[in-house]
Chain A
């Protein structure tokens, strides 16, 4: 079975462009630990375009965490910002690259559009 992590990076690579990364340049590498091994993903960001390769490469920003946690980020079930504050993510190099990249993760799957909320309450 394909892991949520692989699926996430695969989607990212196929889209190949994110408007929020316009003006950002740099390489981020993810070192994801699992079962005594470390899996590497490298993302090269250049003016909104990005390219993902499943390999170790020199990077401006290195993000270390576990694959289990990263699966959670990829599914939106774990919030990366809070995990970072708990030191479950360790960052070396240019923090700002991670702070941009973190915005690409999806939100919680059960999140509601604010309109659904007002519609719920509206029906007497």
Chain B
């Protein structure tokens, strides 16, 4: 995300502004006030006596509020202003802009404040691809308020702007003609409300108005329950603090989530529910907070597929990929109502439920979700295995707006042969087979311990063992010493070297005697940059250090690989990987972006961010947490928290206090020597 923007957010309601707190329409970047995937304000520009403002400083008080300290005039070397302005902007379901003007002179100041306001009502999917809106826009001045509106058939979205101080309102904004006393101040609070169907947007969709939460108190309480970290590594403590705060910001209360929060995927493009992202973030954060996992499991269960639908790629038992509330979903121009185009979220759902129970001991939820979990396991064989040969494959049925690649590397060129050719469809990527293996093994444990169904458990274990054998026969490239990234439709192994093989360690599908070969590749020069492991190795035709899924380093990817390394006993390698990530984060104020460039570390000495990466992004935010779990070797075991710390060379001491779990709270600590 651009350095010149300021972001404030509350779940899927957020504002992206410039450094003066103003909004200017942009066709390339989502600047504006957004709620539920719709832009509600695209122009918001404050001037004083016709002059723009310059920024003295910005105080990001909290992620949902920012203060801008401003003076009139163009930026110059010295400031000798008669006036100064503090703008305090906050998002708590609606957007509030509190403007305070100070007159520093000993005589009255006669000034005119003008705020230009306008909106295009763009759907989040239209920002990159601006086109003619199908509906009609209108502006109305009513009772000293300005109403901006958009109507398409029955779909009505409006922005209602009001001011606590009297204003002259016209269709393009608000004007204040003021006389401020000597050394006096003037203030107004501008309220910008997002409406749907004439009422509060949330109420318009869910039919009842819930009381507005006390955002700050609720956040403070949530943060208080997160384990406390102390370490000699400032990089680690800074990154941890940043991650926990960002995670709080990304929490999102879905309409159907009964007031409980779950992680949205990332600002600004992905402030909504994604199956894969929510599950993986919940897995990363489980040792620190289990409420995200519980909400994610319930909500994704509620939306589990039940029928066949080509446009939405829905199938019985399938876990959703993406859910949206905007115009493009309403008029079926995009399939997100919800969209089910991912082949990995369904097995990962089962993995999360099992891991959740191991940490929390919440057997009740395992009972409640038995039906959904069985449906998810059935999906693997009945709908995922489209070729009928024991693997999960994907091939989109929605050829217009569906995703070609339905694995996490979901850009069109995300999966390729070493020589650059793209395989045909359907495709079976390796990591998804690992997830399926893990899901069956974990499903078996749940069936035996909670559902009282030994026969089902044995069947799942048998199927898992067969899958592991088959997989190690068909995906292993003996001449290369690693696993193919995918199988082509005819069964040919797609031979590029990728980070996907690291996930296989996490899932446990790798034959133990092959693990060291896999690890050599993961930490070898073709994949490992010194900061982390690239998505695609150098030497593959499509390798590009700034290609979205073909050479960049993804923090979340690395966190799961590190977990996998520990699972197979490569603790020192896991620590090296964790160290690279934590040191990269230190360069970026503790905030790991969605992805950074796959340049060799000794070439750039700085982790170069991928240009349009989302930040904060939930599973990048979760990365330091999973790395901490990995470094301390934290595992639930016999109702207790067990640890087996192996620290990186440059970190001497890590202590984590108040780790929640079935044991109540416990501590985990590790030190060198």
Contacts and interface: CB of A to CB of B under 8 A. Distances in A.
Given A111-B308, A111-B309, A117-B386, A84 B205 contact: yes
A118 B395 contact: yes
Interface string B390-428: 000101010000000000000000000000000011100
A87 B337 contact: no
Given A82-B337, A106-B307, A114-B315, A92 B371 contact: no
Contacts of A115: 383, 386, 388
A114 B337 contact: no
B308 A121 contact: no
B491 to A, nearest CB: 12
| B: interface residue count bin | 35 or more
Given A96-B256, A113-B383, A20 B395 contact: no
Given A87-B197, A111-B307, A118-B387, A94 B330 contact: no
Nearest to A99: B256
Contacts of B388: 115
Contacts of B154: 86-88
A82 B197 contact: no
B208 A95 contact: yes
Contact of A87 (B204, B329, B489): B204
A114 B208 contact: no
Contacts of A12: none
Contacts of B330: 82, 85-86
Nearest to A64: B207
A122 B489 contact: yes
Contacts of B337: 79, 81-82, 85
Interface residues of A, number: 40
A31 to B, nearest CB: 13
A90 B154 CA distance: 11
Nearest to B338: A81
Contacts of A49: none
Contacts of A44: none
Contacts of B18: none
B155 interface: yes
Given A88-B154, A95-B255, A22 B489 contact: no
Interface string A65-100: 000000000001001011011111011111110111
B303 to A, nearest CB: 8
B489 A118 contact: yes
B311 interface: yes
A121 B489 contact: yes
Contacts of B156: 87
Contacts of B310: 108, 110-112
Contacts of A94: 207-208
A95 B332 contact: no
B258 interface: yes
Contact of A112 (B312, B371, B397): B397
Contacts of B255: 95, 99
Nearest to A105: B307
A19 B395 contact: no
Nearest to A104: B306
A91 B206 contact: yes
A34 interface: no
B196 A19 contact: no
A23 interface: yes
A103 interface: yes
Nearest to B383: A114
Q: Quick one: which of A87, A115, A122 has the most chain B CB within 10 A?
A: A87
A100 B386 contact: no
A90 B197 CA distance: 10
A86 B371 contact: no
B158 to A, nearest CB: 12
Q: Quick one: which of A76, A90, A94, A114 has the most chain B CB within 10 A?
A: A114
Contact of B314 (A98, A107, A122): A107
B302 A112 contact: no
A46 B331 CA distance: 34
Nearest to A113: B308
A96 B395 CA distance: 32
Interface in B366-398: 368, 371-372, 383, 386-388, 393, 395, 397
A22 B425 CA distance: 38
Contact of B207 (A22, A95, A105, A113): A95
Interface in B299-334: 302-304, 306-312, 314-315, 325-326, 329-332
Interface in B485-543: 489
Q: Quick one: which of A94, A98, A107, A121 has the most chain B CB within 10 A?
A: A107
B4 to A, nearest CB: 33
B205 A92 contact: no
Contacts of B386: 114-115, 117-118
B153 interface: yes
A86 to B, nearest CB: 5
Interface string B617-649: 000000000000000000000000000000000
B311 A108 contact: yes
Contacts of B155: 85-87
Contacts of A112: 308, 310, 397
B371 A19 contact: yes
A88 B330 CA distance: 10
A96 B306 contact: no
Interface of B: 153-156, 196-197, 204-208, 255-256, 258, 302-304, 306-312, 314-315, 325-326, 329-332, 337-338, 368, 371-372, 383, 386-388, 393, 395, 397, 424-426, 489
16 contacts: A23-B368, A82-B329, A87-B197, A91-B207, A92-B207, A93-B207, A94-B207, A95-B207, A103-B302, A103-B306, A108-B310, A110-B310, A112-B308, A114-B397, A117-B397, A118-B386
Q: Which 4 A-B pairs have the closest CB atoms?
A: A107-B307, A85-B330, A91-B207, A111-B308
